[in-house]
Structure 1
């Protein structure tokens, strides 16, 4: 487990953990759905071995210590902008987002560009809206599936998705959160949440699948890149890569690779082994 310190929410409504408070600059890690900031512990352990950057790992609204706050992509982005302003060095951070956190990262970078140095976002998936007759029950179905998965031993779930979940924390699963996540993944919401990104942005699709269809779709990563580039005016460098050996939650599958990939992007080095441009 990473050697982190916790901070109260005096300057922000999001509780967060941090390491290397005197390090510079800041890397902000944004976790995925039904998780907490501690999902980053294995990655942080590896980051500490290779860099002295200041690292922030908050709990998003409706998750962990911030479970009392309602979640939307926009509200989470706003809370994180405040966190960066108050806690990050010079009020700016390199933004790292996974899955749901990737959407929050993209919204943050496009709506609060003054807070973002670079963006490293992985795990975008876009879904077609539910048929009208299924839409009212879709959140309940999603909630039931997630709740059923949480009843399985973590070792079994980890085996199915090639991830070490032995020390990960389960998040709170609510129907309200499930409804917001399903809405977030719909094309109309994606277009609303992802605007032009001025910072350098790396979009990653971890495409490995298997028993559990947990691979990302390259076409969705490309769509996000198109939105981030806009019509080219004012956008930063947006690069799209894929990794055929990594699954959606590859921060738990190979935290060392994840940490090295983040540092390579932040430090303007080439992407590390296994990643291919698409």
Structure 2
């Protein structure tokens, strides 16, 4: 996996899919999905402040969403896109539909901790921030998230490349709860997913998402952990395409 993984894949025809990566990594995390989306127009930007854009200051979640909006206007077919986000990317995607509803054809988010992080999960995260610039910490993280062996060095390098200030600011924004206020003007499909084996803070966000966008459907992905795009890339990509191609949500969703 290359740190300079391309932003654009496929010819700009049909409808564009935008994939927003999680924290501590870069757009290269989407390589398994891009391979399975051959023939589609896919944009995989580095989020501002991460990977190839690590030198750029973190603009806040709203600013990161505005940055993605600018990319969609410039490079997506007809200036609109299906948006998919994981973890931090999922939180940014929610801010995107709240701020720029006209740009989003459909939205699929997984691991979106919109109403904050509580209890032991938060205490552990605060401790992790203190070890941000330590290589041993990133080795431990790669094992915890079950990052494949051939991607672990890239994961470690990407994590250590993010400035401690960006990490502190971004994570505390999420830890404190970043759900946009009020009802969204966005009326398109919105699927919110939690892995069965990930932190309960993701499921706690479901009611807030339904209140902001009543059309929201929710699903617990069986046996999946937080980064299930890598754990089961076939299932992940099928789930995305079901929403993109027909607004179909997984069996058992609410």
> TM bucket by the smaller chain?
0.7 to 0.9
Q: Which residue is equivalent to 1:82?
A: 70
Q: Closer, same or farther in 2 for the Cα pair 1:151/1:241, shift >3 Å?
A: closer
What residue number does 2:129 align with? 143
Task: In structure 2, list runs of 5 or more residues that go unmatched.
Answer: none
Q: Is residue 174 from structure 1 mapped to residue 160 from structure 2 by the alignment?
A: no
Could you say which residue in structure 1 is the equivalent of 2:234?
256
1:164-186 Cα shifts (integer Å, max 9, x gaps): 35226332243222222333324
1:222–1:200 Cα change, 3 Å: same
Greater helix share, structure number = 2
How high is the TM-score relative to the length of structure 1? 0.76
Partner of 1:53: 40
Is the contact made by 1:93 and 1:117 (CA closer than 8 Å) also made in structure 2?
Answer: yes
Determine if contact 2:112/2:202 at 8 Å carries over to the other structure: no
CA contact (8 A) 2:189 2:247 kept: no
| Aligned residues of 2:86 and 2:110 also touching (Cα < 8 A) | yes
User: What corresponds to 1:9 in structure 2?
Assistant: none
Indicate yes or no: 2:14 matched with 1:24: yes
- Structure 2 partner of 1:276: 252
Q: TM-score, normalised by structure 2?
A: 0.82
State how 1:21-170 maps to structure 2 within 5 Å. Answer: 21-48=11-38, 52-71=39-58, 72-125=60-113, 126-128=115-117, 141-146=127-132, 147=134, 148-152=136-140, 154=142, 157=143, 160-164=144-148, 166-167=150-151, 169-170=154-155
Structure 1 alignment gaps of length 5 or more: 7-16, 209-213
How many corresponding residue pairs? 242
